Chains A and B, each alone.
Chain A
Amino acid sequence: MKVDLRVRRFNPEKDQKPWWGEYTLEKVRATDTVLDLLHRIKWEQDGTLTLRRSCAHGVCGSDALRINGANMLACKTLVTRLTKDNNYARIQVEPILGMQIIKDLVVDMEPFFDHYRSVMPYFVNDNPLPANGRERLQSQEDRARFDDTTKCILCAACTSSCPSFWANEKYIGPAAIVQAHRFIFDTRDEAFEERLEVVGDTFGVWRCRTNFNCSNACPREIEVTRAIAEVKMALTTGKI
Protein backbone atom coordinates (compact mmCIF):
# COMPACT_ATOMS: atom_id res chain seq x y z
CA MET A 1 0.00 0.00 0.00
CA LYS A 2 1.09 3.56 -0.70
CA VAL A 3 0.56 6.20 1.99
CA ASP A 4 0.79 9.98 1.66
CA LEU A 5 1.43 11.52 5.05
CA ARG A 6 1.04 15.15 6.04
CA VAL A 7 2.79 15.86 9.30
CA ARG A 8 2.57 19.15 11.22
CA ARG A 9 6.12 20.38 11.74
CA PHE A 10 7.43 23.18 13.94
CA ASN A 11 10.91 23.95 15.18
CA PRO A 12 10.72 26.99 17.49
CA GLU A 13 14.41 27.72 16.85
CA LYS A 14 13.91 28.03 13.07
CA ASP A 15 10.25 28.41 12.18
CA GLN A 16 8.00 31.42 12.60
CA LYS A 17 4.91 29.22 12.49
CA PRO A 18 4.01 25.54 12.02
CA TRP A 19 4.06 24.05 8.50
CA TRP A 20 3.02 20.81 6.82
CA GLY A 21 5.67 18.23 5.92
CA GLU A 22 4.61 15.95 3.03
CA TYR A 23 5.98 12.39 2.89
CA THR A 24 5.22 9.38 0.72
CA LEU A 25 5.73 5.85 1.96
CA GLU A 26 5.63 2.72 -0.23
CA LYS A 27 5.10 -0.89 0.78
CA VAL A 28 3.05 -0.04 3.84
CA ARG A 29 1.10 -2.95 5.30
CA ALA A 30 -2.53 -2.42 6.28
CA THR A 31 -1.63 -3.68 9.75
CA ASP A 32 1.13 -1.09 10.25
CA THR A 33 0.34 1.52 12.88
CA VAL A 34 0.62 5.27 12.41
CA LEU A 35 3.58 5.13 14.81
CA ASP A 36 5.29 2.67 12.43
CA LEU A 37 4.84 5.18 9.61
CA LEU A 38 6.24 8.05 11.69
CA HIS A 39 9.22 5.83 12.55
CA ARG A 40 9.79 5.15 8.86
CA ILE A 41 9.76 8.87 8.08
CA LYS A 42 12.23 9.56 10.89
CA TRP A 43 14.50 6.62 10.08
CA GLU A 44 14.34 6.67 6.28
CA GLN A 45 13.52 10.23 5.15
CA ASP A 46 13.93 12.96 7.75
CA GLY A 47 15.76 12.33 11.00
CA THR A 48 14.76 15.74 12.36
CA LEU A 49 11.13 14.69 12.82
CA THR A 50 10.47 14.77 16.55
CA LEU A 51 7.87 12.65 18.30
CA ARG A 52 7.35 11.12 21.70
CA ARG A 53 6.81 7.40 22.20
CA SER A 54 7.88 4.71 24.59
CA CYS A 55 6.19 1.30 24.80
CA ALA A 56 4.53 1.46 21.36
CA HIS A 57 1.80 -0.89 22.60
CA GLY A 58 -0.90 1.43 23.94
CA VAL A 59 0.14 1.28 27.57
CA CYS A 60 2.49 4.19 28.28
CA GLY A 61 0.28 6.88 26.74
CA SER A 62 3.18 8.84 25.19
CA ASP A 63 2.02 9.12 21.59
CA ALA A 64 -1.44 10.66 21.68
CA LEU A 65 -1.74 12.61 18.43
CA ARG A 66 -4.42 14.19 16.32
CA ILE A 67 -4.72 11.75 13.43
CA ASN A 68 -6.99 12.64 10.51
CA GLY A 69 -8.55 15.33 12.66
CA ALA A 70 -9.34 13.34 15.81
CA ASN A 71 -7.28 12.35 18.85
CA MET A 72 -5.90 8.79 18.89
CA LEU A 73 -2.84 6.89 20.08
CA ALA A 74 -0.45 6.53 17.11
CA CYS A 75 0.66 3.08 18.30
CA LYS A 76 -2.89 1.74 18.48
CA THR A 77 -4.16 3.18 15.21
CA LEU A 78 -3.79 0.82 12.27
CA VAL A 79 -3.51 2.22 8.74
CA THR A 80 -6.43 0.01 7.70
CA ARG A 81 -8.65 1.92 10.15
CA LEU A 82 -7.96 5.17 8.29
CA THR A 83 -8.74 4.10 4.73
CA LYS A 84 -11.28 2.06 2.80
CA ASP A 85 -8.86 1.63 -0.12
CA ASN A 86 -6.60 -1.44 0.01
CA ASN A 87 -3.86 0.26 -2.00
CA TYR A 88 -3.77 3.87 -0.84
CA ALA A 89 -4.19 6.00 2.28
CA ARG A 90 -3.83 9.68 3.01
CA ILE A 91 -3.08 10.40 6.64
CA GLN A 92 -2.69 13.69 8.46
CA VAL A 93 -0.86 13.88 11.78
CA GLU A 94 -0.79 16.85 14.16
CA PRO A 95 0.18 17.38 17.80
CA ILE A 96 -2.65 17.35 20.35
CA LEU A 97 -4.33 20.69 20.97
CA GLY A 98 -4.32 23.16 23.81
CA MET A 99 -0.72 22.66 24.91
CA GLN A 100 2.48 24.47 23.90
CA ILE A 101 4.37 22.76 21.07
CA ILE A 102 7.96 22.00 22.07
CA LYS A 103 8.93 20.64 18.65
CA ASP A 104 6.97 18.98 15.81
CA LEU A 105 4.63 16.46 17.47
CA VAL A 106 5.91 16.92 21.01
CA VAL A 107 3.90 19.18 23.32
CA ASP A 108 4.59 20.45 26.83
CA MET A 109 2.57 18.09 29.05
CA GLU A 110 3.52 19.84 32.30
CA PRO A 111 0.29 21.95 32.61
CA PHE A 112 -1.67 18.72 32.03
CA PHE A 113 0.20 16.97 34.85
CA ASP A 114 -0.30 20.03 37.10
CA HIS A 115 -4.07 19.51 36.72
CA TYR A 116 -3.57 15.81 37.37
CA ARG A 117 -1.66 16.51 40.58
CA SER A 118 -4.29 19.04 41.73
CA VAL A 119 -6.91 16.31 42.33
CA MET A 120 -4.61 14.38 44.73
CA PRO A 121 -4.37 11.25 42.57
CA TYR A 122 -3.28 8.95 45.37
CA PHE A 123 -4.93 6.89 48.09
CA VAL A 124 -5.58 8.78 51.34
CA ASN A 125 -6.51 6.93 54.50
CA ASP A 126 -4.73 7.71 57.76
CA ASN A 127 -6.67 5.16 59.82
CA PRO A 128 -4.68 2.21 61.19
CA LEU A 129 -4.53 -0.91 59.02
CA PRO A 130 -6.93 -3.80 59.82
CA ALA A 131 -5.91 -5.91 62.83
CA ASN A 132 -4.46 -8.64 60.62
CA GLY A 133 -2.15 -6.06 59.03
CA ARG A 134 -3.32 -6.93 55.55
CA GLU A 135 -5.13 -4.88 52.89
CA ARG A 136 -8.31 -2.88 53.46
CA LEU A 137 -11.04 -5.11 52.06
CA GLN A 138 -13.80 -3.93 49.78
CA SER A 139 -16.83 -5.64 48.24
CA GLN A 140 -16.85 -6.47 44.53
CA GLU A 141 -19.74 -4.02 44.03
CA ASP A 142 -17.79 -1.19 45.67
CA ARG A 143 -14.72 -2.02 43.57
CA ALA A 144 -16.82 -2.06 40.39
CA ARG A 145 -17.95 1.55 40.96
CA PHE A 146 -14.57 2.96 39.94
CA ASP A 147 -13.20 0.07 37.88
CA ASP A 148 -13.51 1.96 34.59
CA THR A 149 -11.53 4.97 35.74
CA THR A 150 -8.58 2.88 36.94
CA LYS A 151 -7.68 2.24 33.28
CA CYS A 152 -6.43 5.78 32.50
CA ILE A 153 -2.89 5.95 31.05
CA LEU A 154 -2.63 9.78 31.16
CA CYS A 155 -2.13 10.14 27.42
CA ALA A 156 -4.14 13.43 27.39
CA ALA A 157 -6.15 12.37 24.32
CA CYS A 158 -9.36 13.22 26.22
CA THR A 159 -8.28 16.54 27.71
CA SER A 160 -6.84 17.79 24.41
CA SER A 161 -10.05 16.84 22.54
CA CYS A 162 -12.18 19.01 24.82
CA PRO A 163 -13.32 22.42 23.46
CA SER A 164 -13.61 23.73 27.03
CA PHE A 165 -9.89 22.99 27.49
CA TRP A 166 -9.02 24.66 24.16
CA ALA A 167 -10.94 27.72 25.34
CA ASN A 168 -9.33 27.85 28.77
CA GLU A 169 -6.28 25.84 29.79
CA LYS A 170 -7.10 26.45 33.46
CA TYR A 171 -9.93 23.92 33.11
CA ILE A 172 -8.63 20.81 34.86
CA GLY A 173 -9.86 18.65 32.00
CA PRO A 174 -11.39 15.18 31.61
CA ALA A 175 -8.23 13.22 32.53
CA ALA A 176 -7.87 14.92 35.93
CA ILE A 177 -11.58 14.40 36.61
CA VAL A 178 -11.25 10.72 35.70
CA GLN A 179 -8.42 10.44 38.24
CA ALA A 180 -10.52 12.25 40.85
CA HIS A 181 -13.43 9.88 40.11
CA ARG A 182 -11.18 6.87 40.68
CA PHE A 183 -10.55 7.95 44.29
CA ILE A 184 -13.82 9.80 45.09
CA PHE A 185 -15.80 6.61 44.47
CA ASP A 186 -13.33 4.35 46.30
CA THR A 187 -15.03 3.45 49.63
CA ARG A 188 -11.61 2.99 51.29
CA ASP A 189 -10.40 6.50 50.50
CA GLU A 190 -11.09 9.34 52.93
CA ALA A 191 -10.16 12.49 51.00
CA PHE A 192 -13.23 12.73 48.81
CA GLU A 193 -14.27 16.07 50.34
CA GLU A 194 -10.96 17.71 49.40
CA ARG A 195 -11.17 16.25 45.90
CA LEU A 196 -14.77 17.36 45.46
CA GLU A 197 -13.66 20.85 46.43
CA VAL A 198 -11.04 20.83 43.66
CA VAL A 199 -13.33 19.43 40.94
CA GLY A 200 -16.25 21.62 42.08
CA ASP A 201 -14.18 24.77 41.59
CA THR A 202 -14.79 27.35 38.82
CA PHE A 203 -12.35 25.50 36.57
CA GLY A 204 -13.63 22.06 37.54
CA VAL A 205 -16.38 19.78 36.24
CA TRP A 206 -18.86 22.57 35.53
CA ARG A 207 -16.77 23.58 32.52
CA CYS A 208 -17.74 20.26 30.90
CA ARG A 209 -20.29 20.78 28.14
CA THR A 210 -21.12 17.08 27.68
CA ASN A 211 -20.00 16.89 24.06
CA PHE A 212 -18.48 13.38 24.37
CA ASN A 213 -15.24 14.12 22.44
CA CYS A 214 -13.32 12.79 25.45
CA SER A 215 -15.18 9.46 25.52
CA ASN A 216 -14.64 9.01 21.79
CA ALA A 217 -10.94 9.91 22.00
CA CYS A 218 -10.03 7.65 24.93
CA PRO A 219 -7.80 4.81 23.67
CA ARG A 220 -8.70 2.78 26.77
CA GLU A 221 -12.42 3.19 26.07
CA ILE A 222 -13.07 4.74 29.45
CA GLU A 223 -16.58 6.20 29.71
CA VAL A 224 -15.09 9.61 30.46
CA THR A 225 -18.22 11.73 30.07
CA ARG A 226 -20.10 9.32 32.32
CA ALA A 227 -17.39 9.63 34.99
CA ILE A 228 -17.58 13.43 34.76
CA ALA A 229 -21.38 13.33 35.05
CA GLU A 230 -21.10 11.05 38.12
CA VAL A 231 -18.77 13.56 39.76
CA LYS A 232 -21.24 16.35 38.90
CA MET A 233 -24.01 14.33 40.55
CA ALA A 234 -21.83 13.70 43.62
CA LEU A 235 -21.31 17.47 43.90
CA THR A 236 -25.00 18.21 43.36
CA THR A 237 -26.46 15.61 45.71
CA GLY A 238 -23.60 15.26 48.18
CA LYS A 239 -23.96 11.50 47.83
CA ILE A 240 -21.11 9.23 46.81
Chain B
Amino acid sequence: MSSLILTIRESLRYRGRSGHVSWMAHRVSGIAILTFLVIHVWDTANAHFWPQAYAWSVAFFKYPLVAVGELVIMAAVLYHAFNGIRITILDFKPEWWMHQQRSATIVWAIFLVLFIPIAIYMFSGIVGHCSELAAHGSTCWQIPPFSDFAKYAN
Protein backbone atom coordinates (compact mmCIF):
# COMPACT_ATOMS: atom_id res chain seq x y z
CA MET B 1 0.00 0.00 0.00
CA SER B 2 2.65 2.45 1.00
CA SER B 3 4.95 4.08 -1.47
CA LEU B 4 7.00 7.21 -1.79
CA ILE B 5 4.62 8.71 -4.37
CA LEU B 6 1.56 7.96 -2.21
CA THR B 7 3.24 9.52 0.82
CA ILE B 8 4.24 12.69 -1.03
CA ARG B 9 0.84 13.04 -2.77
CA GLU B 10 -1.20 12.41 0.36
CA SER B 11 1.05 14.60 2.53
CA LEU B 12 0.10 17.45 0.19
CA ARG B 13 -3.58 16.45 0.06
CA TYR B 14 -4.07 15.83 3.77
CA ARG B 15 -5.61 18.82 5.51
CA GLY B 16 -3.43 18.80 8.57
CA ARG B 17 -2.96 21.79 10.81
CA SER B 18 0.15 23.76 11.75
CA GLY B 19 2.06 20.65 12.88
CA HIS B 20 1.56 19.01 9.48
CA VAL B 21 2.63 22.16 7.61
CA SER B 22 5.73 22.45 9.84
CA TRP B 23 6.53 18.79 9.24
CA MET B 24 6.34 19.25 5.46
CA ALA B 25 8.48 22.40 5.59
CA HIS B 26 10.98 20.50 7.76
CA ARG B 27 11.17 17.68 5.20
CA VAL B 28 11.54 20.01 2.19
CA SER B 29 14.19 22.11 3.96
CA GLY B 30 15.99 18.90 4.97
CA ILE B 31 16.15 17.75 1.33
CA ALA B 32 17.39 21.21 0.29
CA ILE B 33 20.15 21.07 2.92
CA LEU B 34 21.14 17.53 1.89
CA THR B 35 21.34 18.63 -1.77
CA PHE B 36 23.49 21.57 -0.75
CA LEU B 37 25.77 19.32 1.30
CA VAL B 38 26.36 16.97 -1.64
CA ILE B 39 27.20 19.92 -3.92
CA HIS B 40 29.37 21.46 -1.20
CA VAL B 41 31.41 18.28 -0.66
CA TRP B 42 31.89 17.83 -4.42
CA ASP B 43 32.82 21.49 -4.80
CA THR B 44 35.29 21.50 -1.91
CA ALA B 45 36.87 18.30 -3.26
CA ASN B 46 37.43 20.20 -6.51
CA ALA B 47 39.32 22.89 -4.59
CA HIS B 48 41.80 20.23 -3.50
CA PHE B 49 42.10 18.08 -6.62
CA TRP B 50 41.39 20.49 -9.50
CA PRO B 51 41.78 24.11 -8.32
CA GLN B 52 40.91 25.53 -11.76
CA ALA B 53 37.72 23.49 -11.87
CA TYR B 54 36.92 24.95 -8.46
CA ALA B 55 37.38 28.43 -9.92
CA TRP B 56 34.82 27.47 -12.57
CA SER B 57 32.43 26.37 -9.76
CA VAL B 58 32.84 29.70 -7.97
CA ALA B 59 32.03 31.54 -11.21
CA PHE B 60 29.01 29.27 -11.69
CA PHE B 61 27.75 29.98 -8.15
CA LYS B 62 27.72 33.69 -9.01
CA TYR B 63 25.20 33.13 -11.82
CA PRO B 64 22.09 34.96 -10.50
CA LEU B 65 19.73 31.97 -10.50
CA VAL B 66 22.27 29.81 -8.65
CA ALA B 67 22.86 32.71 -6.22
CA VAL B 68 19.11 32.81 -5.56
CA GLY B 69 19.42 29.07 -4.86
CA GLU B 70 21.90 29.99 -2.11
CA LEU B 71 19.22 32.23 -0.66
CA VAL B 72 16.84 29.26 -0.64
CA ILE B 73 19.49 27.18 1.17
CA MET B 74 19.82 29.94 3.74
CA ALA B 75 16.05 29.83 4.29
CA ALA B 76 16.14 26.03 4.56
CA VAL B 77 18.97 26.05 7.12
CA LEU B 78 17.27 28.69 9.27
CA TYR B 79 13.84 27.02 9.27
CA HIS B 80 15.23 23.51 9.73
CA ALA B 81 17.35 24.62 12.70
CA PHE B 82 14.60 26.38 14.62
CA ASN B 83 11.90 23.84 13.84
CA GLY B 84 14.33 21.07 14.82
CA ILE B 85 14.80 22.73 18.21
CA ARG B 86 11.01 23.00 18.57
CA ILE B 87 10.49 19.29 17.81
CA THR B 88 13.29 18.29 20.18
CA ILE B 89 11.80 20.36 23.01
CA LEU B 90 8.34 18.84 22.42
CA ASP B 91 9.83 15.34 22.41
CA PHE B 92 11.68 15.95 25.67
CA LYS B 93 8.79 17.81 27.29
CA PRO B 94 5.64 15.84 26.39
CA GLU B 95 3.60 17.86 28.89
CA TRP B 96 4.14 20.98 26.74
CA TRP B 97 2.20 19.43 23.85
CA MET B 98 -0.56 22.04 24.19
CA HIS B 99 1.91 24.73 23.11
CA GLN B 100 2.72 23.00 19.83
CA GLN B 101 0.51 25.21 17.63
CA ARG B 102 1.86 28.39 19.23
CA SER B 103 5.42 27.10 19.02
CA ALA B 104 5.00 26.39 15.28
CA THR B 105 3.88 30.02 14.79
CA ILE B 106 6.82 31.30 16.89
CA VAL B 107 9.25 29.28 14.73
CA TRP B 108 7.81 30.86 11.55
CA ALA B 109 8.09 34.31 13.17
CA ILE B 110 11.74 33.80 14.23
CA PHE B 111 12.49 32.45 10.77
CA LEU B 112 11.00 35.51 9.03
CA VAL B 113 12.64 38.02 11.39
CA LEU B 114 16.06 36.50 10.71
CA PHE B 115 15.61 35.58 7.08
CA ILE B 116 14.23 38.87 5.72
CA PRO B 117 17.33 41.01 6.55
CA ILE B 118 19.66 38.17 5.49
CA ALA B 119 17.74 37.82 2.21
CA ILE B 120 17.98 41.58 1.57
CA TYR B 121 21.74 41.47 2.28
CA MET B 122 22.34 38.44 0.04
CA PHE B 123 20.13 39.75 -2.74
CA SER B 124 21.87 43.11 -2.73
CA GLY B 125 25.14 41.17 -3.12
CA ILE B 126 23.77 39.52 -6.28
CA VAL B 127 22.58 42.88 -7.65
CA GLY B 128 25.94 44.49 -6.78
CA HIS B 129 27.85 41.74 -8.60
CA CYS B 130 25.70 42.13 -11.73
CA SER B 131 25.98 45.95 -11.65
CA GLU B 132 29.77 45.72 -11.37
CA LEU B 133 29.98 43.41 -14.38
CA ALA B 134 27.55 45.63 -16.33
CA ALA B 135 29.76 48.68 -15.56
CA HIS B 136 32.62 46.85 -17.26
CA GLY B 137 30.47 46.00 -20.28
CA SER B 138 30.02 42.37 -19.25
CA THR B 139 26.96 40.46 -17.99
CA CYS B 140 26.25 38.21 -15.06
CA TRP B 141 23.64 36.31 -17.07
CA GLN B 142 26.22 34.14 -18.76
CA ILE B 143 26.87 30.66 -17.40
CA PRO B 144 30.58 29.78 -17.60
CA PRO B 145 30.86 27.08 -20.31
CA PHE B 146 30.84 23.58 -18.84
CA SER B 147 33.58 22.58 -21.28
CA ASP B 148 35.94 24.73 -19.14
CA PHE B 149 35.11 22.66 -16.10
CA ALA B 150 35.56 19.39 -17.98
CA LYS B 151 38.90 20.61 -19.33
CA TYR B 152 40.22 21.53 -15.86
CA ALA B 153 38.79 18.44 -14.19
CA ASN B 154 40.74 16.27 -16.62
Contact = CB atoms under 8 A, between A and B. Distances in A.
B137 interface: no
Contacts of A215: 19, 97
Interface residues of B, number: 26
A70 B97 contact: no
A203 interface: no
Contact of B11 (A163, A216, A226): A163
A88 interface: no
B20 A213 contact: yes
Q: How big is the A interface, by class? A: 20 to 34
Contacts of A28: none
B13 A212 contact: no
Interface stretch (B45-53, B88-96, B113-121): B88-96
Contact of A70 (B7, B15, B18, B22): B15
A101 B55 CA distance: 56
A97 B94 contact: no
A68 B91 contact: no
Nearest to A69: B15
B1 A229 contact: no
A190 interface: no
A223 B22 CA distance: 19
Interface in A197-240: 209-213, 215-216, 223, 225-227, 229-230, 232-233
A179 interface: no
Contacts of A167: 2, 4, 7
Tell me the dominant secondary structure on chain B's binding face: helix
A100 interface: yes
A169 B1 CA distance: 8
Interface in B1-53: 1-2, 4, 6-7, 10-11, 13-20, 22-23
Contacts of B13: 69
Contacts of B92: 229, 233
A227 B18 CA distance: 19
Contacts of A209: 23, 87
B87 A99 contact: no
B100 A212 contact: yes
Nearest to B18: A212
A169 B23 contact: no
Nearest to B4: A167
A232 B10 contact: no
Nearest to A108: B1
Nearest to A215: B97
A61 interface: no
Interface of B: 1-2, 4, 6-7, 10-11, 13-20, 22-23, 87, 90-95, 97, 100
Interface of A: 66, 68-70, 97-100, 161, 163, 165-169, 209-213, 215-216, 223, 225-227, 229-230, 232-233
8 contacts: A69-B13, A70-B15, A213-B17, A213-B20, A227-B94, A230-B94, A233-B91, A233-B92
